[in-house]
Structure 1
Amino acid sequence: MKNTVTLLLLIISAVAFAQKTDYNTKKGFVAEGYDVVSYFVDKKPQEGKGKYQTTYDGAKFKFSSEKNLNLFKENPTKYIPQYGGYCAYAVAAKKTKMYVDAEAYEIRDGKLYLFYNSWLSNKLEDWQKGDTKKLQAQGDKNWEELKQVKK
């Protein structure tokens, strides 16, 4: 019994103190409040509405419709942007977190990637001009180290 109680306390401590993924919620929501399902269903980003929102893994998401909210709830990991919604190019090439323009995106291999974009620098273009497969692999590796570090 004593061993069971000790084990239970260790498990509870591990869960309570485990860090969660650091999602890019600069505007209060992942993907700047855009509907992450819309990238896949509508083939373009749609702004989320306040009445359709949920929290997953400690991060808030907005949706453009109840249908998309329900699709997300059925399989959230299918729709969550890679690298917590930070700029995919920055994570891969610079091993750093950079905010994004939610309208600068790519769906590759069934995954959503978001990118920084300004009039001076379009990281989506840099991503597509480079060796994208290599960038994806490097991004995945870098994200393992970055995902729990708060920006």
Structure 2
Amino acid sequence: MSDHHRNKGFRSIAAIGAVAMLLFAQPVPAEDVVNMGYFGDVAIKGYDPVAYFTQNQAVEGSPQYSHHWLGATWYFASAEHRDMFMRDPAKYAPQYGGYCADGVSFGTVTTNVDPKAWRIIEGKLYISYDPGAAEGLEKNPTKVVESQKHWSEVQQTLISEKMHKDWQHTPAN
């Protein structure tokens, strides 16, 4: 068999494998994209998402008051905050899964956020990678509009990366 035919056969098998992966892969819910940093499964580096709204500041949570939601562990400063979150997580969870809102406004992913660099804009929590980015988000309303436009694209990138990572770690039968 010539190299040409061997390569053509290999490409066909690879294409069939890729299609099968797409057809039989577990779907990843669109909202199941939470920034857990580079290590572990803790959302927004362990900060209490409810405290931004109730105390108007970034407050570290505790593993003692935690809740598992969307594949991530969320920490809270009190049982009361945990219970408030459990009743209405979408009200308190940061936009874009806690990825940098400024980065999303440019259509990019910034995982390394600073939970102390945040803003609540129109009742929604946005976290950024540094205080300057958070301030820029607040002062320039078009950044929020741009981040909303780009989120779908960024989310698909994150989902694709998650599927690829999960596929690489699937044990062979």
TM-score (norm: length of structure 2):
0.69
Alignment of 1:13-92 (within 5 A): 17-20=26-29, 21-26=32-37, 28-92=41-105
Give the counterpart of 1:96 among 108, 116, 131: 108
2:42 and 2:74 map into 1 onto residues whose CA distance is 5
Kept in 2, the 8 Å contact 1:53–1:69? The answer is yes
Structure of higher CA gyration radius: 2
Question: What do you get for the CA RMSD once the two structures are aligned?
Answer: 1.9
1:123 to 2:136 alignment: no
Consecutive unaligned residues of structure 1, counting only runs of 5 or more, are 1-13
SS of residue paired to 2:157: coil
1:137 and 1:17 map into 2 onto residues whose CA distance is 31
1:144 to 2:146 alignment: no
SS of residue paired to 1:43: coil
Consecutive unaligned residues of structure 2, counting only runs of 5 or more, are 1-22, 162-173
| Structure 1 residue 138 displacement after superposition | 1.5
1:84 and 1:138 map into 2 onto residues whose CA distance is 16
2:136 and 2:64 map into 1 onto residues whose CA distance is 36
From the superposition, tell whether residues 144 and 45 of structure 1 become closer, same or farther in structure 2 (CA, over 3 Å). Answer: same
More strand by share: 1
Kept in 2, the 8 Å contact 1:105–1:112? The answer is yes
1:97-138 Cα shifts (integer Å, max 9, x gaps): 1121000100011000001117xxx212332343x1x22122
SS of residue paired to 2:36: coil
Kept in 1, the 8 Å contact 2:121–2:138? The answer is no
| Structure 1 residue 87 displacement after superposition | 0.9
SS of residue paired to 1:25: coil
| Structure 1 residue 149 displacement after superposition | 2.8
1:149 and 1:67 map into 2 onto residues whose CA distance is 35
More helix by share: 2
SS of residue paired to 1:46: coil
